[in-house]
Chain A
Amino acid sequence: MAKIVIRDLTKTYSGGAVVALQDIDLQVAPNESLCVLGPSGCGKTTLLRIIDCLIGRDRGDVVIDGNLVTQPRPDVAVVFQHFGLFPWKRLEENIAYGLELRGNSRQQISAIVERYVTLIGLKGFEKSYPHQLSGGMQQRAGLARAMAINPSVLLMDEPFGALDAQTRELMQEELLRILETEQKTMIFVTHSIDEAIVLGDRIVVMSCRPGRIREIFPVDIPRPRKILSVRAHPRYIELRNAIWEMLKSEQEQNPSGDTRHEPAR
C-alpha cells in the first residue's frame, strides 16, 4: 500500500484568481525518495505545505497510512528552506525541540540529541546558538531536528537552496548516507535537476500556472549512491537531458512563469 496518497488536489490563491495546484494525483511508496522539480512558482512548496496540513486545500485529499490528513501529523517532519531554528535556543535545544514537545524524558532526549549531533557531524557545537553557525551547519541542525522525532515521512522544502554549491553537495552526500541507515519516506522539493537525480527514486516534473504534474521520471540508478558515481552513471546524462528539455519547453510555453517565487502562504 502506498505511504502517501494525494488525490485530485487543487489549491488556489487570491480567491481563486491564482491556481497554484490543479488536479494533483500522486502516490508515494513506503521508504521512497520522491523529488519534485519545476520552475519557480509552480506550487512545489505549496504542495509540501498541504501535505503537512500547514495550509488548507480547495479540493482533494491527502492520505497518509490510510488516514486522511486534517492537521499536522506528529510522524511527519519538515525541513525548511529558511532553516527555521529558534535563535534563542542552543543547537542541542533546537534539535531537542520536537522531542520536548512530545514529552520525552531528559535522558531520552539527551541520548537522541547526542546521536544526531554526531550523525550530522556537529559534535562540539552543541552549545552554540544558530547565529554563531554557518548556513550549512544550521541546515544540518534543521535536518537533525526533523530526524530526531523519528518521523516516517520527511518533507524537504528546498532545504539546500540557500546553501553555497559546495556545502550543498556535502549535505546531499550526508543525506544519502543518513537515508541508508534510517528508512524514511521522503518528498524533496528542489529546483536543481542534479539534486533530484542524485537523491530521488522518482522525479516529478511539474508545470507552471496552474501547477500540474507534467511527467514522472523513475531514476533507475542503483543504491547505495554516491554523488560522483551517480554523475558518472550513463542514465544520469540521459535523465538530465530529458528533464532539462521538458523544463525548457515548460518555460517557453509559459514565459510569465518567471523567476518569481511562489506565494509565501
Chain B
Amino acid sequence: MSRRAKVRLLSLIIVLALWEFYGRRVNPILFTYPLAIVRAFIALVFSGELQSYMKDSLLVLLYASILSVLVGVFFGVVMGRYAIVEWAADVYINALYSMPMVAMVPLIVLWFGFKVPAKVIIVFLFMVFPILINTYQGVKDVDRNLQEVARSFCSNEAQLWRHLIIPSALPFIVVGIRLAIGRGLVGMIVAEFYTSVTGLGYMIVRYANAFETDKLFVPIVVVMILGVGLMWLAKWVEGRIAPWRNFDERE
C-alpha cells in the first residue's frame, strides 16, 4: 500500500470514528451516526424500498443521459460546422448554460407534470449544454490539414462526420459528458424534490419530513457514491480515449 493510500485510509477511519462517537450524543432527529446509517441501509435494502427508488432515479438519469448525448453531440457538430447556425443559436445556448437551471424546474413541472417525462426533461436540460458546448469546441479544434485530406478524397458530409469530426472531437465530448454527469445528478435530485412521487430525491424529502434522519442519510450517501463512481468512470474513459494526444508534441 502506498503512503498516500495509507494516509487516506487513516483519515477515513478517524473521521468515521469521530462521527460515530459524537454522532451518538446528538438528538437522533437532528443528526445520526455511521452505524445507524448502515442499519437503516440494510433495512431499506431488505424491504426493497431502496432498490425500487434507486431504479426509478437511475432510469431517469439513463434516459436523460442518452438523450443529452445524442442531442448535444448532434447540435454541437452542426453549430461547429455551420457558422450561420452558430451565429443564430449561440446567444441562447450560452444564456441557458449560464443560468441556474433550477429556475426552470417549476416551469417544466407546469408544462409536463411530474411523471418520468418531466424528470427526464429536467435532467436533460441540466446535462445537454456542457456536452453541446464541448462538442462544438471539439469540432472547431479539428485539424485543418485533415479536413483538406477529407476534401481531397471527396468525402461527403456524413463521411466527414464519421471519419473525421466525431473521432477528432471525441476527447472533448467525453469531457463534456463528465461535466454533464455532475450537473445531471443535481438535476435528478432537484427534479425528484419537486415532483415528489418516487426516486432518491423523494426518499430524502420523505424521511426528512418524517424526522427519520438515519434513513434520510441512506439516499444521500447513495447519491454521493453514485457521483463519485460515475465521475471515476468518466475519468477512466477520458484517460483511455485518444492516446495519440500524448504525442502531439512529436514532429
Contact = CB atoms under 8 A, between A and B. Distances in A.
Interface of A: 52, 54, 71-74, 76-78, 80, 82, 84, 86-89, 97-98, 100-101, 129-131, 135, 149, 162, 264-265
A101 B154 contact: yes
B159 interface: yes
A86 B153 contact: no
Given A98-B153, A131-B244, A131-B250, A86 B167 contact: yes
Nearest to B164: A86
A195 B66 CA distance: 55
Range, interface on chain B: 20 to 34
B98 interface: no
B148 A84 contact: yes
B164 to A, nearest CB: 7
9 contacts: A52-B152, A78-B149, A82-B145, A84-B146, A86-B167, A88-B244, A101-B156, A130-B244, A131-B250
Contacts of A71: 154
A129 B168 CA distance: 15
A86 B163 contact: yes
B247 A131 contact: yes
Contacts of A130: 244
Contacts of B170: 88
A77 B156 CA distance: 16
Main secondary structure of the interface of B (DSSP, over half): helix
Interface string B159-200: 100011001101000000000000000000000000000000
Contacts of A88: 167-168, 170, 242, 244
Contacts of B242: 87-88
B25 interface: no
A162 B242 CA distance: 24
Given A88-B167, A101-B159, A72 B154 contact: yes
Interface string B72-105: 0000000000000000000000000000000000
B237 to A, nearest CB: 15
Contacts of B163: 86, 89, 97, 100-101
Main secondary structure of the interface of A (DSSP, over half): loop
Given A77-B153, A101-B153, A265-B144, 14 more contacts: A73-B154, A78-B149, A78-B152, A80-B148, A84-B145, A86-B163, A86-B167, A87-B247, A88-B244, A101-B156, A101-B159, A131-B250, A135-B251, A265-B148
A97 B162 CA distance: 11
The 5 residue pairs across chains A and B that have the minimum distance between CB atoms: A87-B244, A131-B247, A84-B149, A88-B167, A131-B244
Nearest to A129: B244
Contacts of A74: 154
A54 B153 contact: no
B151 interface: yes
B47 to A, nearest CB: 49
B137 interface: no
A233 B250 CA distance: 39
Nearest to B159: A101
A82 B144 CA distance: 11
A100 B150 CA distance: 12
B27 to A, nearest CB: 59
Contacts of A82: 145
Contacts of A77: 152-153
A200 B96 CA distance: 60
Contacts of A76: 152
Contacts of B152: 52, 54, 72, 76-78
Contacts of A265: 144, 148
A84 B164 CA distance: 11
Nearest to B167: A88
Interface centre among A52, A89, A98, A101 (most CB of B within 10 A): A101
A72 B149 contact: no
A80 B167 contact: no
B153 A97 contact: yes
B165 to A, nearest CB: 11
B90 to A, nearest CB: 25
Contacts of B243: 129, 131
